[in-house]
């Protein structure tokens, strides 16, 4: 392929392509498709945030470049959020950086922290972008297995001594995508301990930090004493304030990592449009009632879907965080087979778990991010699924 790097050519094939092809075919046949695959909020950005944006758009001073690190008001709002929610003190000048969405941060933090050939530990199953980012920076991707029976906490004993020695960076993500796993602070303490022992930098992705239910409050890794010596944490307004398209997030924590990332970024972008940063600051300085309203809606949807799945014999726990349901596929099906069956028989798209790594095989993911009426319709259709009991392939 002319003009295309071996790196890009070597990217894994698009796992959703089979489903996509089917979706197109069924849609052409006139089938009404409900997509529970896409994990992006369907709810609108709260009005007060849009109002602040509109106000800032009227000020021509906001049309200039932002400072590289992002504007002061946004970084101070992040510091205030950490102080109020986690009792963590942060210096807005050295420990906080504005990101153009946390995905941007994930892509750029890898070359800031590793050299080609260095090992990157990646949760399996996990958000696929960690793997791609590490791979594109020449890192050696090594699976960090998670333990399904223990809320998907990392199993460090499965990482070889050689890989522990070579690892420079470890990704973690709680509440987790795709697993919806939540943890108590002890799991993050253990991570910091492991990272210090083996001199590994931690990047904790807390994209779903505020999407929680049943009174659960997701901890920040920076609440672990001494965490700043080894860890940074990503946050995003995409999920908590329904701002996916705005592209705004932040990274906080270890100064050396933040400085290294700011060097990569200052040669790549010049931060986010100032009105967006200021509107996002408004969100972080708010009383978080809109976040609670969102969570009530996701909670209601969660109840509905969990009930429907249990009705057809799929045993699934109610997650305390994220807007995903992660469930085992019925016996005898692979993830891909089950996703295709659900789509063909009901017109509902679910994501096969193997899209999120080796250990995702045997599971599927449902996103609770479609309007409630559509979700009800999807659930009603799924209740009609006929699950044949097939011989379990993996038993043979």
- In degrees and rounded to multiples of 5, residue 24 shows phi and psi of -60, -45
Radius of gyration of the chain from its Cα atoms, rounded to whole angstroms: 21
- Residue 236 in contact with ligand PLP, rule: CB under 6 A: yes
**Closer Cβ to ligand PLP, 243 or 308, answer by number:** 243
**Closer Cβ to ligand PLP, 275 or 321, answer by number:** 321
Stretch that binds ligand PLP, among 16-24, 55-63, 100-108, 336-344 (CB under 6 A): 100-108
- Cis peptide leading into residue 175 (ω within 30°): yes
- Residue 205 in contact with ligand PLP, rule: CB under 6 A: yes
Which positions from 248 through 267 interact with ligand PLP, judged by CB under 6 A?
A: 249
Stretch that binds ligand PLP, among 1-9, 89-97, 101-109, 364-372 (CB under 6 A): 101-109
If 0-12 CB within 10 Å is exposed, 13-18 middle and 19+ buried, where does residue 182 land?
buried
**Closer Cβ to ligand PLP, 238 or 294, answer by number:** 238
Q: Output the CA–CA distances (angstroms, integers) from residue 140 to 119, 152, 156, 381, in the order listed.
A: 5, 23, 17, 43
**Closer Cβ to ligand PLP, 124 or 205, answer by number:** 205
- Residue 102 in contact with ligand PLP, rule: CB under 6 A: yes
- Residue 98 in contact with ligand PLP, rule: CB under 6 A: no
N residues, the chain: 396
Residue 298 near residue 322 (C-beta atoms within 8 A):
no
- Residue 108 in contact with ligand PLP, rule: CB under 6 A: no
- Residue 207 in contact with ligand PLP, rule: CB under 6 A: yes
As a whole number of angstroms, the distance between CA 200 and CA 204 comes to 12
As a whole number of angstroms, the distance between CA 5 and CA 148 comes to 37
Residue 272 near residue 250 (C-beta atoms within 8 A):
no
For 80, other C-beta atoms within 10 Å of its C-beta total 15
Among 94, 132, 244, 334, binds ligand PLP (CB under 6 A): 244
As a whole number of angstroms, the distance between CA 241 and CA 81 comes to 14
Site string for ligand PLP, 18-57 (x = CB under 6 A): ---------------------x------------------
**Closer Cβ to ligand PLP, 106 or 113, answer by number:** 106
Binding residues for ligand PLP, rule: CB under 6 A, are 39, 101-103, 127, 173, 177, 205, 207, 236, 238, 244, 249
């Amino acid at each position: 392929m002319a003009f295309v790097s071996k790196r890009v050519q070597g990217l894994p094939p698009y796992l959703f392509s089979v489903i996509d092809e089917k979706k197109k075919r069924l849609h052409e046949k006139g089938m009404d498709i409900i997509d529970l695959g896409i994990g992006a909020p369907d709810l609108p950005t709260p009005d007060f945030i849009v109002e602040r944006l509109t106000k800032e758009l009227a000020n021509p001073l906001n049309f200039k470049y932002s400072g590289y690190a992002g504007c002061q008001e946004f970084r101070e709002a992040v510091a205030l959020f950490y102080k109020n929610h986690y009792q963590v003190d942060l210096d807005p000048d050295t420990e906080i950086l504005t990101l153009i969405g946390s995905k941007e941060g994930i892509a750029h933090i890898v070359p800031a922290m590793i050299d080609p050939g260095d090992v990157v530990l990646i949760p399996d199953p996990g958000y696929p972008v960690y793997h791609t980012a590490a791979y594109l920076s020449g890192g050696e991707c090594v699976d960090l297995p998670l333990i399904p029976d223990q809320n998907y906490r990392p199993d460090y004993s499965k990482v070889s001594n050689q890989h522990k020695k070579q690892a420079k960076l470890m990704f973690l993500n709680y509440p987790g995508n795709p697993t919806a796993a939540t943890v108590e602070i002890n799991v993050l303490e253990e991570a910091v301990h492991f990272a210090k022992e083996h001199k590994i930098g931690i990047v904790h992705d807390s994209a779903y930090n505020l999407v929680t239910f049943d009174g659960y409050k997701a901890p920040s890794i920076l609440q672990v004493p001494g965490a700043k010596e080894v860890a940074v944490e990503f946050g995003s307004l995409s999920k908590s304030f329904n701002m996916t398209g705005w592209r705004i997030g932040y990274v906080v924590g270890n100064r050396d990592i933040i400085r290294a990332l700011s060097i990569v970024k200052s040669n790549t972008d010049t931060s986010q449009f100032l009105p967006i940063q200021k509107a996002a600051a408004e969100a972080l300085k708010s009383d978080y009632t809109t976040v609670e309203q969102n969570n009530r809606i996701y909670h209601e949807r969660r109840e509905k879907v969990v009930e429907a799945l249990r009705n057809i014999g799929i045993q699934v726990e109610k997650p305390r965080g994220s807007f995903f349901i992660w469930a085992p596929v019925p016996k005898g099906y692979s993830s891909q087979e089950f996703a295709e069956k659900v789509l063909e028989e009901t017109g509902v798209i679910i994501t096969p778990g193997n899209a999120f790594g080796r250990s995702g095989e045997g599971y599927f993911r449902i996103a609770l991010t479609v309007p409630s009426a559509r979700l009800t319709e999807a659930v009603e259709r799924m209740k009609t699924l006929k699950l044949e009991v097939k011989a379990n392939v993996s038993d043979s």
